Amino acid sequence: MNILLVGSGGREHALAWKIAQSPLVTRLVAAPGNPGIEAVCELRPVKADDAEGLAALAREIKADLVVVGPEVALAAGVADRLAAAGIPCFGPTAKAAQLETSKAFSKAFLERHSIPTAGYGVYETVQEAKAALDAFQPPYVIKADGLAAGKGVAISPDRADAEAEVERMLGGRFGAAGARVVIEEFMDGEEGSLFALCDGKQAVLFGGAQDHKRAFDGDTGPNTGGMGAYSPAPVFTADLVQQADERIVQPTIRKMAVEGAPYRGVLYAGLMATTDGPKVVEFNARFGDPECQVLMMR
């Protein structure tokens, strides 16, 4: 098989390292890649969000499969463009990737299908978001609606901090990603990331991991997007994994297909282990970075 790998980070380095080990692979090309990735495969200077350029490259190398690493490629519709060209892609369409690219979409989807998650509201103005804080208890969980490189989540300990965070997000801190904010109930428990491989109809669990999100010791400071990870994660007991599969992963794949957006690729379910069982914190539409690095090692 000829494989095209899209992306340039540590996640893609881990994917390239692992894919290159497969006896099924005859050629592996990464776009745009990085110097570490170049040690295991060819590089081509096509950006991860250049859907047309990636489709052209896939045709040129006669790719049998394209593996998409980063969320920016999915949001740009790379999987859609490849599907139009008849090239198989490991990664969801832009419509299916809304599970990650729009937190408002994701929360509404979960609510429609009674998949366990925190209560929430979606707000577009500072005034309505501040007023909505009356319906929540501290600590307040405030999220930018769109993609913010894993940094668009704030947990505010008090009302004053929450109001300031609302002003920052809706005031342009994350650009278009912060045009709306989602305010959620705080979920008490331990967080972990569960991964599943999906073909649009079925999902097979692929393992779990935990990353270190907060900038400072003692889980204080802002979210960083992840600074190292480990797997397996002790939070994922056999019982918790079974509950998560039955209540969250399988219903999500079934209902996405019902709604006309079959999900293909890897589903990253960020879960909170609560006293009521696992609940969705967020979905990602791709392997996490750094979680992918430890999963590929395993």
Residue 101 lies in a domain: no
Q: Given this model, what pLDDT does residue 225 score?
A: 66
Residues 162 and 143 in one domain: yes
- Structural domain boundaries enclosing 84: 2-91
Residue 105: inside a domain:
no
- Domain end: 184, 208, 233, which one? 184
Whether residues 166 and 206 share a domain: the answer is: no
In terms of domains, do 172 and 192 share one?
Answer: no
Q: Which domain CATH number covers 78?
A: 3.40.50.20
Assess whether 220 and 282 both reside in one domain: yes
Are 198 and 281 found together in one domain? yes
**Cα–Cα distance, 57 to 36 (Å, whole number):** 21
What pLDDT score does 148 carry? 73
Shared-domain flag, residues 292 and 197:
yes
The enclosing domain of 205 has a CATH number of: 3.30.470.20
Q: Is residue 114 in some structural domain? A: no
pTM: 0.91
Looking at the chain, list the stretches that DSSP marks H as alpha helix, in order from N- to C-terminal side. 10-19, 51-60, 71-75, 78-84, 98-101, 103-112, 126-132, 159-168, 238-244, 250-258, 291-297
Same domain? For 208 and 251 the reply is yes
Domain boundary among 184, 209, 224: 184
- 176 with 212, same domain? no
**Is 106 within the bounds of a domain?**
no
* Segments of the chain assigned E as strands: 2-7, 27-32, 42-43, 65-68, 89-90, 120-123, 140-144, 153-156, 181-184, 190-199, 203-211, 214-216, 220-223, 229-230, 264-274, 277-284
Given 91, 110, 129, the domain boundary residue is 91
Pair 69, 20 in one domain: yes
Residue 102: inside a domain, yes or no?
no
Q: Are residues 180 and 152 in the same domain?
A: yes
Give the model's pLDDT for residue 222.
75
Closest alpha carbon to 280 in 187, 149, 182, 148: 187
In this structure, the answer to whether residues 202 and 268 fall within a common structural domain is yes
The answer to the question of residue 246 being in a domain is yes
56 found inside a domain: yes
Residue 34 forms part of a structural domain? yes
Per-residue pLDDT in tens (0 to 9) along the chain, 298 residues:
999 999 999 999 999 999 999 999 999 999 999 999 999 999 999 999 999 999 999 999 999 999 999 999 999 999 999 999 999 999 999 999 999 999 999 999 999 999 999 999 999 999 999 999 999 999 999 998 888 776 788 889 999 999 999 999 998 888 887 888 999 999 999 999 999 999 999 999 999 999 877 778 877 777 776 678 999 999 999 999 999 999 999 999 999 999 999 999 999 999 999 999 999 999 999 999 999 999 999 9
Instruction: Assess whether 180 and 197 both reside in one domain.
Output: no
- How many other CB atoms sit within 10 Å of the CB of residue 269? 24
Number of domains in the chain: 3
CATH code for the domain of 131: 3.30.1490.20
